[in-house]
Structure 1
Amino acid sequence: MVVEGPPGRLARLTLRAIGIGFLATLAGTVLALLTSQLQGAGVAIFILSVTIAAVSAGLWAGVVAALLASIALPIVESPQRVFGFEQLRDLIAAVVFLAIAVVVGLVVGNAADERDRASRREREARLLAFLSAKLLSGDVPDRVLDEFVQVLLEPLGLASCQVSVTLDGQEIEAKAVRPGVPRGGPTEVIPVVVSNIPLGTLIAERPEGKRPFTRDERLLLEAATRQAAVALDRARLDARARLAQLDAETNQLRAAMFSSVTHDLRTPLASIKAGVTSLLDASAIHDALQQRELLTTILEETDRLNRLVGNILDLAKIRAGALIPKRVPTAVDEVAEAVVARMRPLLADFAVELQLAPDLPEVPADPVQLDQVLTNLLENAARHSPRGGTIRIHVSQTRDAVRVRVSDEGPGIKPEEREKVFEAFYRGRESPESSGSGLGLAIARAVVTAHGGRIRVEETTGGGTAMVVDVPLEETVL
């Protein structure tokens, strides 16, 4: 402690050691005088005084107590021959006692100092371990630094601690101040460096009038700063990795979108072109029934193409934040009847059951957007239901919403995919090459959410899938 202390530290330690050594010797002298009738008690008492001084204040206190005890012992044991030393035996006894006392003081003092150093090292190790756990938690750099500077205040007795770094051109600063503690004391500036690249600085400030930082405290600050630098570098690399992953996912989504849209546009266009080409072929002879079938195919494929283009435009509105419902009092049962009637040609290969609860209340909704939701749900049910299967539409009322349930007899949706089916362009693992664009359910969820409602996937008895939509009875402000 004496060697590592800053200027002024040695003087304070010596004065404290002298004081404790003197008090220990004085107490030993009093006790020895009280027990002067006991032969040899003085030596044991003064050795105990030296030991107590060394344990209490370290090495120097033990040495001071030993010197004073070697003077006090002859006084206590032979007051009539104080400072006489005319007998060789007295002189030898005093020297031997001084040697023994000094040795005891040195041994006990060193042990006490080692104990203090070990305790300090243990506290520092715990602090560094705690900092390591905090810094390597994988949190964002701002939060990491906020916790870092806050943790350093108490163990190091700081009035304030501040870290300023620059990561990938972004300046990040964190500062912690102990309330009610006057600032303006000794300051230590530690560079934040990783892989020989300077990132910034750490500034630690003690309270006003406090001692400067010791060598050990500077080393502790440097070790903590190195950990912070490693954590910041890791956070920077993690951010770059996430950005790269996001770019890869974005590119993958764009490729999927391009492939899906291209395929879904080409299919109805090919059917329309084939029908029109056949009708325009002068060499081909078509009776009235064949002409009607070709024109019906052209009409159906045109409607399909129109719905696809509408879904793409709606997706663009959703991503631009421009999907705003124009709410008016709307009868959900009437919208359901209209959608089923309009989609009869598409649903011709299925048995359709429409169940409407009586006396359903109107809801504040955009009827056009609600029509689109039901259209997309019925298209999805028709796409995945076996030919000849039953599609059921049930409209009822719950406590705070009108509920529409569209169920089919298809293969169903696995539990782990029931949220993913609402993502744009997702077609499911079981049917990645299905004819759908993967937009219908994504748009349905966006519309329902914009109305403050909820859409989810439920199981049905006997297999299949049920899409459940809840439209609130009262307008919800999002």
Structure 2
Amino acid sequence: MFAKYIKDSLITILALICAFGLSLLFQYKLAVEEHITTVFVFAVFLVSLLTKGYLYGVMAAFAGTIAVNYAFTFPLFALDFTTTVNFISGIVMISVAVLTSALITKLKKHEAMKAESEKEYMRANLLRAVSHDLRTPLTTIYGSSTTLLENSAGMTEEQKIKIVEGIKEDSEWLVRMVENLLSITRLDSGQVKIIKTPTVLEELIDSVILKFRKRYPKQSVTIEIPDDMVVIPVDAILIEQVIVNILENAVQHAVGMTKLTFRVFTLGKQAIFEISDNGCGINPKRLETIFTGYYTSETEIADSHKKNAGIGLSVCATIIKAHGGTIKAENQKTGGAVFRFALDTEEISNDTE
């Protein structure tokens, strides 16, 4: 908090010094006096824009008025508000500056309230998605375990194993969803700081594919990555989580999929990650809210099958945004869906080579 006060004070002082220096240039070098007041009003505008609250803007307004009267109006280098011209000029400048400061501060508060309102809206959407995502696997686990307890005597060993495998699968999915939920809440609350370390793309992909194949050994993935070494500054664990979530989303929701492709290529100073399938694609209405975890209609909920993409894709968007990247989902003209996100790359030094 104290550091914030120091920062705001330094911004105010620097803005006034710059305005004073520019005014000296106008008056003594360019012989242009009529814009001096405008320069100080602009300085007050910047102070109000870059600092918090009314205080610094109002202080800058009074300081600017005194500076103009002292150094740029006759008599020079003397405070004189006794003449009608100086008095009116001072009142007008203070009024304009204070009103400007008040307006900017009010706009900033309005934007802050709007942002908070949107955040609450997103939290409500996330809660709705969580409720829906948890219901199906929990119901399945409860039903399967009840069946096993009540009818185990009349079941074959193969039937029992099949039920237990179903319980295990749903339990693993619940664990992953809880991990996703913890990640998104920690990132949103600022409890987790993104610590970027230079990561070799090939090593990142190898780790992702290893984890994915443990979960889905029967699902093949076509991998396409650059031949040259690519280094990206990321939190490797979080980016792995993003890629696995998107791959898992394709397995769970791309009905009719026969091909899953994971491609990475460089474009300028960015690495583009692209995961595509040839399945059923995404409901066009769902595309608008796919990264919010929010379903806009009961139809979308019904279309989302057993396990929803809501939380997992919300996590993906949050992690990529925290890395300063962008993420997008769209349907392909040839059929199926494609998820694409971009991250900055890092130049490889000679030592690294």
TM class by smaller structure: 0.5 to 0.7
The code of the aligned residue for 1:388 comes to G
Q: Cα deviations across residues 387-442 of structure 1 (Å, max 9, x unaligned)? A: 22344213355477765421134444869967x644x5355789763453633234
Change (3 A) 1:213 1:459: farther
In structure 1, C-alpha distance between the alignment counterparts of 2:247 and 2:122, rounded to whole Å: 26
Cα deviation for residue 264 of structure 1 reads 2.5
Q: Does residue 321 of the first structure (1) align with residue 189 of the second (2)?
A: no
Matches of 1:157 and 1:361, distance apart in 2: 56
Q: Which residue of 2 aligns with 1:395?
A: 263
Return closer, same or farther for 1:155/1:412 CA change in 2, 3 Å cut-off: same
Question: CA offsets, 1:280-334, max 9 Å, x none?
Answer: 1158732234323321221111111011111122224433233435666553553
Distance 1:403 1:367, change over 3 A: same
Write the distance in 1 (CA, Å) between the matches of 2:75 and 2:287.
57
**1:467 aligns to what SS in structure 2?**
strand
Any idea what the Cα deviations from partners look like across 1:321-356, whole Å, max 9, x if unmatched?
A: 3343566655355345424423437x87xxx55244
Residue among 111, 119, 126 paired with 1:257: 126
**Selected match of 1:304 from 173, 178, 183:** 173
Residue 380 of structure 1: aligned partner: 249
**Distance (Å, rounded) in 2 between the aligned partners of 1:356 and 1:184:** 68
Q: Which of these two proteins has the greater Rg computed from alpha carbons?
A: 1
- In structure 2, the residue matched to 1:341 is 213
Task: Name the structure where helix makes up a greater proportion of residues.
Answer: 2
Q: TM-score, normalised by structure 2?
A: 0.63
8 Å Cα contact 1:257/1:425 also seen in 2: yes
**C-alpha distance in structure 1 between counterparts of 2:239 and 2:281, whole Å:** 26
Q: Percent same amino acid at aligned positions?
A: 22
**Contact between 1:377 and 1:441, CA under 8 Å: does it hold in 2?**
yes
- The answer to which structure, 1 or 2, has the higher relative contact order (CA under 8 A, 6+ apart) is 2
CA RMSD of aligned residues (A): 5.2
Residues 244-270 of structure 1: CA deviation (Å, up to 9, x unaligned) = 333433332332333333332333222
Partner of 2:138: 269
SS of the equivalent of 2:339 reads strand
Number of equivalenced pairs:
309
Superposed CA deviations along residues 215-236 of structure 1, whole A, max 9, x for unmatched, are: 3553454345444454444444
Q: What TM-score, normalized to structure 1?
A: 0.49
**Matching residue of 1:191:** none
| Contact preservation (8 Å) 1:311, 1:440 | yes
The 1-side partners of 2:286 and 2:87 are apart by: 53
Cα pair distance change 1:218/1:236, threshold 3 Å: same
Q: 1:459 to 1:255 in 2, by over 3 A?
A: closer
The CA distance in 2 between the partners of 1:452 and 1:211, in whole Å, is 53
- What do residues 88-144 of structure 1 show as CA deviations (whole Å, max 9, x unaligned)? xxxxxxxxxxxxxxxxxxxxxxxxxxxxxxxxxxxxxxxxxxxxxxxxxxxxxx8xx
Partner SS for 1:331: helix
Question: Does the Cα contact within 8 Å between 2:287 and 2:330 map onto a contact in 1?
Answer: no
CA distance in 1, matches of 2:344, 2:317: 14
**What is the letter of the counterpart of residue 286 of structure 1?**
M
Aligned counterparts of 2:79 and 2:117: Cα–Cα separation in 1: 55
* Structure 1 alignment gaps of length 5 or more: 1-141, 186-203
Q: Identify if the C-alpha distance between structure 1 residues 442 and 284 changes in structure 2 by more than 3 Å, giving closer, same or farther.
A: same
Distance change (3 Å), C-alpha of 1:239 and 1:225: same
Give the Cα–Cα distance (whole angstroms) in 1 for the partners of residues 176 and 245 of structure 2. Answer: 9
Q: Report the CA distance shift for 1:442/1:178 in structure 2 as closer, same or farther (over 3 A).
A: same
| Correspondence for 2:334 | 462
